[in-house]
Amino acid sequence: MPTASLSVLDVPFDERPDPDEYIRAAMEWHFGPDTGSPFWLRKARTLDFDPRRDVKGVADLALFPHVTGELREVPVRDLIPQGYGADARIVGVFESGGTTGAPKRIVCLRDWLDRLTHGLSADLDGLGIPRGVDWLAIAPSGPHMVGEMVAGTAARHGGLMFRVDMDPRWVKKLISAGKAEETDAYVSHLVEQAAHVLRTQEIGVLMTTPPLLERLARHDDLIELIGEKVKGIMWGGAHMDADTRDLLRTEVFPGCALYGTYGNTMILGGATERLGLGPDEPCVFDPRTPFVTFSVVDPASGEPVPYGERGQVVMNHVSKSALLPNNLERDLAIRVPPPEGAAGDSVADVGPVAMFDDEVVIEGVY
Amino acid sequence: MSQPATTPDALDAPRTPDAPDPLQALDALGPKGPYRSRHRLTISDVTGTPMAELSLVPRLFVTRALAALRAAATPPLEERLAALKRAGELFATGTVAGMTAAAYESAVCRMSGTPLANVRIAVEAIRLSATEAYRSVQAARPVGAVGDWRDPYARGGTAVWIRRGDVFAVHAAGNHPAVHALWLEALALGYRVAVRPSRREPLTPYRLVSALREAGFGTDQVVLLPTDHDAAGEILHGADLSMVYGGQEVIDRYAADPAVLPNGPGRSKILLTADREWRDHLDVVVDSIARHGGTACVNATAVLVEGDPAPVAEALAERLAALPSLPPQDETAVLPVHPVETARGFERLLLGKAAGARAWLGGDGVVDDLGDGSAALRPAVLQLDDPRDPRLGMELSFPCVWVAPWTRAAGVAALRDSLVVTAITGDEALLDALLAEPSIKNLYIGDHPTHWIAPGIPHDAYLGEFLMRTKAVIRG
């Protein structure tokens, strides 16, 4: 039995295991007949390789087929590794936002959430965000993992968290139906709720999406309130262009540390912004490797693009609690070398597939 | 949430120091001065040669800029008028933001494909609008209203003409530089103005806003906000009132919004009735079709002829066929020029619609490849059988005219939905009916081209009718 090597899956929060050793241990765990989940044990029979033999490191995760589509229907209990036994501590069942069809479901276990929130809290220490201040999150909760992630981070950082709930699926539905007024009314409703918390509570950390930050910035009184109270703003859930980021930093919220996360349900969390870069450098996201790793590939060939080039993001989540390898995301990003000692790629200037609309308007003279 | 557009060009490697001919930087002109964004759009001339780099501002920049306009105070009338006059002269003749008037005219020709002569017409229109701003906007003031509560009339009770808001936004068009003459009236009326330039031709508003600033308008009085589509809506949201240009879909979208004034296709028409000899008026008809390169909303799109339209169409075809195909910066150019692929797009659209029509000119196509990556769009003359044919309202941005028979039975209905109708007729009852028809915006009687315009004359009603209202005032 490979029990000794499996201990690398439970390294202390502050330690980063050797990436390839870690991946090999994870393969033993997820494909061991006594420890693996019913989902992966079934799946293993259809693979044309043996994960325990052939997956020797991070790079070999590319051998796996894209399986996340199956997460729309698979019974979630089948995703829990049997090795946890009867007392697996489940935080919850979470779903993707449903941007690309029906939502995909994952199960989040306590040991992963603890590792994730420990890392985020440590990042906030590095950013100078004080512990013990209270938080306001204008973010999706319910089936969306981000709410739980932020709540867990706030708690670990010693804060109480006030919540304004956001339903991203409803907003997407309104936008795609062209209901601009209803979208606007919904976002105004969110801002109104946030304003009430900001006025009445001592909020030290604000977590929300870039579009919501822009909406808050329409209100001078809220800009002022945030400037007075908030020490750090953590953003995620949508992309932020470099010009907007610079304006937020230098003009709108100059007294707040602005901290970006690039998150995704399929990695059970988010990659976080690399600190210490200058204002004209792009926002680089480093995933917490080897638990989460990225690669940036040419969408046509699947081959990695050169550093500095734009490609499509492939994500891997490998923890004791879950295995979600080789998931091709819809996002495009620039491939950036990872920090020293980290595996895979880091990403910069993340954005959705660029839309270049044709300016030629034929009918009419304009 | 909608997501901000990505910025693929934001991270392009900086140009090497020895790179030749750096592109002209067209910065946004924000409330704190010029703003060079990381997200920039390369603007090419009609041959495809890059000319300039336009800074596209993010939505948040728009929000902030409009808040600054709202917070600003309006300068006194006399100061505004004097600054406008200076700006108009500077725009037309001076060196603005380092560019001479001649260099501007040449650059805007190459960028937009607008013939040089038309650019000069536009420059003059902008200069006139700036110089004559007071007279022009006062023409719109109701006769019962005065401009100030201190006016002696207010003692006995009167109406005072006031702004409906403080911040006016313009989503400008790129079809003709003269579209920028109109919004100067808003500045004269005391509005703070935000202009979103067309991405096809941002140079004219860049020069005009720069000239206004050099002439004394504060950076919080008039701003230039180039954006992509994602941030465009924010400009309308942040302004009290807006003017937008676009096709029919734009007109439809804003039809019910009292804060938005849409400017769409003009569908201008000429009516020739049997009591007049059409040959005597051919110059005016040709001029109505072809002036401005046929790109303006005031260009004639349709000619309706009482009697047989064929001889009229034939004569128009003969005259229009003689127009030369030339690069836009040529002194004698008259036809619009586009990149070849764009021109082919217009041609495909025309040929698709022309099926069944009798083509007197342009039936085989209208693209004349100039051999440098650009193409002139040549005129088209197409004859239809029925004055109710919807193609009579189809407006393309080159000299393209639909000719059809007109009958008394077809009447005024055949001339509806027109920015201008030039009626060459002696029938006063018909003129009464044309004047009374609300969907005909302007009526020119006799030998006046559809593109005739002068300061103080409404284009599509007075802009002042949209920007201003009356308020009752009485004082002791």
pLDDT tens-place values along chain B, 476 residues long: 333 333 333 333 344 444 445 789 999 999 999 999 999 999 999 999 999 999 999 999 999 999 999 999 999 999 999 999 999 999 999 999 999 999 999 999 999 999 999 999 999 999 999 999 988 899 999 999 999 999 998 899 999 999 999 999 999 988 889 999 999 999 999 999 999 999 999 999 999 999 999 999 999 999 999 998 878 889 999 999 999 998 888 888 888 899 999 998 999 999 999 999 999 999 999 999 999 999 999 999 999 999 999 999 999 999 999 999 999 999 999 999 999 999 999 999 999 999 999 999 999 999 999 999 999 999 999 999 999 999 999 999 999 999 999 999 999 999 999 999 999 999 999 999 999 999 999 999 999 999 999 888 999 999 999 999 999 999 97
**H helical segments located in chain A:** 3-6, 19-31, 38-44, 51-54, 110-127, 145-156, 168-176, 180-200, 210-216, 220-229, 242-247
Residue B475 lies in a domain: no
Distance (Å, rounded) from C-alpha A183 to C-alpha A340? 43
Q: Is A146 in CB contact (< 8 Å) with chain B? A: no
Residue A117 backbone dihedrals phi, psi, to 5 degrees: -75, -30
From B1, B229, B264, residue closest to A364, measured CB to CB: B264
Of A238, A242, A364, which is closest to B3 when you measure between CB atoms?
A238
Q: Provide the chain B residues 379-408 that lie in CB contact (below 8 A) with chain A.
A: 394-397
Total domains present in chain B: 2
Calculated CA dihedral for residues A279, A280, A283, A289, nearest 10 degrees: -90
CATH, residue B48: 3.40.605.10
How far apart CA A330 and CA A307 sit, in angstroms, is 19
B272 and B260 in one domain? no
Beta carbons within 8 Å of B476's beta carbon, 6+ residues apart? B155
Give the separation between CA A55 and CA A48, rounded to whole angstroms: 12
Residue of chain B nearest A140, judged by CA positions: B1
CB contact under 8 A, A214 and B199: no
- Chain B: give the shortest CA distance to residue A5, in Å: 43
Task: Indicate the residue of A183, A217, A240 with minimum beta-carbon distance to B4.
Answer: A240
- Asked, for residue B454, whether it belongs to a domain, the answer is no
Q: Which single residue is written with the structure tokens 């003279």?
A: A365
Residue among B122, A253, A81, B134 nearest A245 (CA): A253
Q: Which of residues 170-229 of B touch A (CB under 8 A)?
A: 173-175, 198-200, 229
Chain B closest-CA separation from residue A159 CA (Å): 27
Please tell me the distance in Å from A84's CA to the nearest CA on chain B: 38
Same domain, B170 and B37: yes
Beta bridge partners of B222: B193
Residue of B nearest to A170 (CA): B1
Which pLDDT value is given to residue A329?
A: 87
Q: Chain A residue with minimal CA distance to B64?
A: A218
Residue A14: HSE in the Cβ half-sphere, 13 Å Cα cutoff: 1
Query: Is B256's Cβ below 8 Å from some Cβ in A?
Result: no
Distance CA B209, CA B132 (A): 18
What pLDDT is stored for residue A355 in this prediction?
42
Helices and strands (H, E) in chain B, number of each type: 14, 23
pLDDT of A59 higher than 70: yes
Establish if B450 belongs to a structural domain: no
Q: Which of residues 292-321 of B touch A (CB under 8 A)?
A: 295-297, 299
**A86–chain B Cβ distance below 8 A for any pair:** no
Tokens at A188, concatenated: 């105004």
Tens digit of pLDDT for each residue in B93-140?
999 999 999 999 999 999 999 999 999 999 999 999 999 998 889 999
Q: Does B3 touch chain A (CB under 8 A)?
A: yes
Mean pLDDT of all residues belonging to chain A:
91
In tens, the pLDDT along B220-276 reads 999 999 998 878 889 999 999 999 998 888 888 888 899 999 998 999 999 999 999
Of A183, A362, A365, the CB nearest to B296: A365
d(CA B367, CA B285): 23
**Using the beta-carbon criterion (under 8 Å), do A211 and B1 form an inter-chain contact?**
yes
Enter the pTM of the model.
0.89
Average pLDDT over residues A277-299: 91
Residue B237 lies in a domain: yes
Question: 165-184 in A: which are within 8 Å (CB) of B?
Answer: 168, 171, 175, 180, 183
Q: Are residues B154 and B250 in the same domain?
A: yes
Looking at the complex, report in whole angstroms how far the Cα of residue A307 sits from the nearest Cα belonging to chain B.
13
pLDDT at residue A99 is higher than 90: no
Strand, coil or helix: what is B193?
strand
User: Please, what is the average pLDDT of chain B?
Assistant: 93
Q: Are residues B257 and B338 in the same domain?
A: no
C-alpha distance from A139 to closest chain B C-alpha (Å): 11
> What size, in residues, is chain A?
366
Interface contact flag, B248 A359, Cβ < 8 Å:
no
Q: Which two tokens stand for residue B117?
A: 């002569």
Residue B1 with chain A: CB contacts under 8 Å: 168, 171, 187, 209-212, 237-238
Looking at the structure, do residues B379 and B358 belong to the same domain, yes or no?
yes
Q: Does the beta-carbon distance from B3 to A332 stay under 8 Å?
A: no
What is the per-residue pLDDT across B297-330, written as a single tens digit (0 to 9) for each?
999 999 999 999 999 999 999 999 999 999 999 9
Helix (H, G, I), strand (E, B) or coil at A313: strand
Read off φ and ψ for residue A295, nearest 5 degrees.
-140, 155
pLDDT exceeds cutoff 70 at A354: no
CATH number of the CATH domain containing B406: 3.40.309.10
Residue that is last in its domain, among B235, B264, B293: B264
Burial letters B323-349, b for 16+ CB under 10 A, else e: bebbbbbeeebbbbbbbbebbbbbbee
Domain edges within chain A: 6-86
Q: In terms of residue numbers, what domain contains B143?
A: 24-264
Partner-chain residue, chosen from B3, B11, B61, that has the shortest CB–CB distance to A239? B3
Predicted local confidence at residue A173, as pLDDT: 87
Over the stretch A185-209, which tens digit does the pLDDT of each residue have?
999 999 999 999 999 999 999 999 9
